[in-house]
């Protein structure tokens, strides 16, 4: 079964540094998402992306965050100047073209800010 | 925006018993309700979903019910097995394939052998 893959599985970064989290969505999917899960808490929406532009973003997704689809297969989340509170699991998801198709999640990248 | 409440936060059942997890949502525009299972160190995995034009859906030992009027939906797992132990999240989203999914707070289910 096709799956969403994320790299790296664990990223340790010094506060203030830039970090890029990478995702390869399912190949025929056109909608892409990033979510965040702080340890022990619920999964929170960050941003959705379609047709090479952001379609929706949450209040968490401030100017420090950006997303990009640099080629036909990768989808990235960049945090420009990391803060301690950015430490969390970051999940990428993708869904097919029709409305309300399920979003399929990767296994996440654990981001630890020191 | 949408708010999804989920209860209980933890649930322990004996193997073979049933487990029920209940959720409420606030936005009447929500019309798609997926349920996700999250195992330790893994991402959320879709286990079943229901749309607002359906009141109940079943898939083997798992069933979901939806009451649109009350804005309630529930997950029922029958004949629980140890491998059902995980964190379960209910979620809601409104129409549009690019709409965000709003998750509940999660239920940690422990099935005791």
CA distance A81 to chain B (A): 25
The pLDDT of residue B95 is 61
Pick the more confident residue, A42 or A65: A65
CB contacts of A103 in chain B (<8 Å) are 34, 46, 101
pLDDT confidence of B1, banded at 50, 70, 90? Answer: confident
Please state, in angstroms and rounded to a whole number, the distance separating the CA atoms of residues A47 and B31: 20
| Helix (H) or strand (E) run with residue A37 in it | strand A31-37
The pLDDT of residue B96 is 53
Dihedral angle over CA of B5, A36, A3, A73, nearest 10 = 140
The per-residue pLDDT for range A97-107, each reduced to its tens digit, is 766 678 999 99
The mean pLDDT value for B51-80 works out to: 94
A4–B31 CB contact, under 8 Å: no
Closest-CA residue to B104 (of B93, B94, B90): B90
What is the token pair recorded at A106? 């990767």
The pLDDT of residue A28 is 86
The mean pLDDT value for B25-41 works out to: 92
Residue B64 CB coordination number (10 Å): 24
The pLDDT of residue B37 is 96
The per-residue pLDDT for range A58-90, each reduced to its tens digit, is 999 999 999 999 887 899 999 999 999 999 999
* Residue of A4, A43, A56 with shortest CB distance to B98: A56
The pLDDT of residue B97 is 46
B97–A99 CB contact, under 8 Å: yes
The pLDDT of residue A101 is 78
Q: Does B44 touch chain A (CB under 8 A)?
A: yes
């Amino acid at each position: 079964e096709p799956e969403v893959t994320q790299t790296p599985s664990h990223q340790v970064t010094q506060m203030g540094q830039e970090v890029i989290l990478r995702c390869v969505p399912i190949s025929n999917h056109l909608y892409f998402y990033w979510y965040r899960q702080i340890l022990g808490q619920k999964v929170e929406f960050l941003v959705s992306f379609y047709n090479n532009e952001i379609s929706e973003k949450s209040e968490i997704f401030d100017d420090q965050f950006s997303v990009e689809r640099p080629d036909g297969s990768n989808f990235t989340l960049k945090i420009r100047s990391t803060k301690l509170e950015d430490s969390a699991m970051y999940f990428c998801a993708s869904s097919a073209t029709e409305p309300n198709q399920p979003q399929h999640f990767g296994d996440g990248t654990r981001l630890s800010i020191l | 925006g949408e708010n999804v409440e989920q209860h209980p936060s933890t649930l322990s059942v004996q193997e073979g018993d049933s487990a029920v997890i209940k959720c409420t949502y606030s936005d009447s525009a929500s019309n798609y309700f997926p349920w996700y299972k999250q195992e330790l160190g893994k991402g959320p995995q879709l286990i079943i979903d229901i749309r607002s034009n359906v009141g109940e859906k079943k898939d083997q030992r798992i069933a979901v019910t939806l009451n649109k009027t009350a804005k309630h939906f529930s997950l029922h797992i029958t004949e629980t097995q140890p491998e059902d132990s995980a964190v379960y999240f209910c979620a809601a989203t409104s129409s549009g394939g690019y709409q965000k999914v709003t998750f509940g707070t999660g239920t940690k289910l422990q099935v005791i052998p």
